[in-house]
Structure 1
Amino acid sequence: MKNERGFTLIEMMVVLLVISVLLIITIPNVTKHNSTINEKGCDALIKMVEAQIQAYEIDKGTPPADINALVDEYLTTEQTTCPNGNVISIGADGKVAAN
């Protein structure tokens, strides 16, 4: 008889069990950190828009009326929405906020 070496069914089941446990542990952590990443991305985008407002004021001599005044020359349309879906706007006092 030949000595055929291979994995038994029990060994394969143990490996699948270990992989399943690792997935069960990691997936909730990844989704929890995803919202944190989106919030930090939104904060960074707001800081960038504030910098673009300052550049607009230096070039034009007056603050922009709204976020649309910055689009095309200073921002792209993708930069007016945060990664978490909030829309960036400029308030009457010149403050940038994501709503």
Structure 2
Amino acid sequence: MVKNEKGFTLLEVMLVVVILAILAAIVIPRFVGNAETAREKADITTGREVKAALDRYQVDNGIYLRIDELSAANGTITGSGLIPDYIARLDPTVTQQKAETGKTGFGIAEITGNTFPDPGNLIMVYLSSDGSQAEVKVFDESLASTLWSSI
């Protein structure tokens, strides 16, 4: 008499689990690295859009915004003239990288000559007091390295 048993042996199940674990060990780090790169590239694209908005403002008005025409608080830039006429919004929900609390979003600082203050946010808008200059820089999540600069 022959038994007709169906199913997998313990050895077969363990072999499949080991194979899946090896594949996961190879694939998961690649996905994590790709996600970080994608967030950085999204912020670079946002920085380019901000610079393009500032340039459109300059073309229409003959001068860039002055540092006193915009304000920044908690990663959000506000100010009539630029928002919403040239760009919809500049707040922390727009940036994609995972920086420390209070460092996400946008910041404003005054540019004097070719001197740029240290960054306070992921995307910094540097404006002159007389409206002659406007630059944008995008930083990595640690704010230690410049990912993109409009200079």
Residue of structure 2 aligned with 1:98, choices 134, 138, 144: 138
The size of the alignment, in residue pairs, is 99
Contact 2:124 2:137 in 1 (8 A): yes
For residues 1-99 of structure 1, the aligned pairs below 5 Å read 2-65=3-66, 66=70, 67-69=77-79, 70-73=82-85, 74-78=87-91, 81-84=94-97, 85=104, 86-92=122-128, 93-99=133-139
Aligned residues with identical type, % of pairs: 26
Q: CA deviation at 1:32?
A: 2.1
Contact 1:81 1:88 in 2 (8 A): no
The structure that is helix-richer by fraction is: 1
TM-score normalised by length of structure 1: 0.75
The structure that is strand-richer by fraction is: 2
Of 78-87 and 13-22, the range deviating more from structure 2:
78-87
Structure 2 runs not aligned, ≥5 long:
71-76, 98-103, 105-121, 140-151
Structure 1 runs not aligned, ≥5 long:
none
Determine helix, strand or coil for the equivalent of 2:134.
Answer: coil
RMSD of the TM alignment (CA)? 2.5
Q: CA deviation at 1:17?
A: 0.5
Contact 1:46 1:98 in 2 (8 A): yes
Q: Which amino acid aligns with 1:71?
A: I
Q: Which amino acid aligns with 2:47?
A: I
Higher Cα Rg, which structure? 1
TM-score normalised by length of structure 2: 0.53
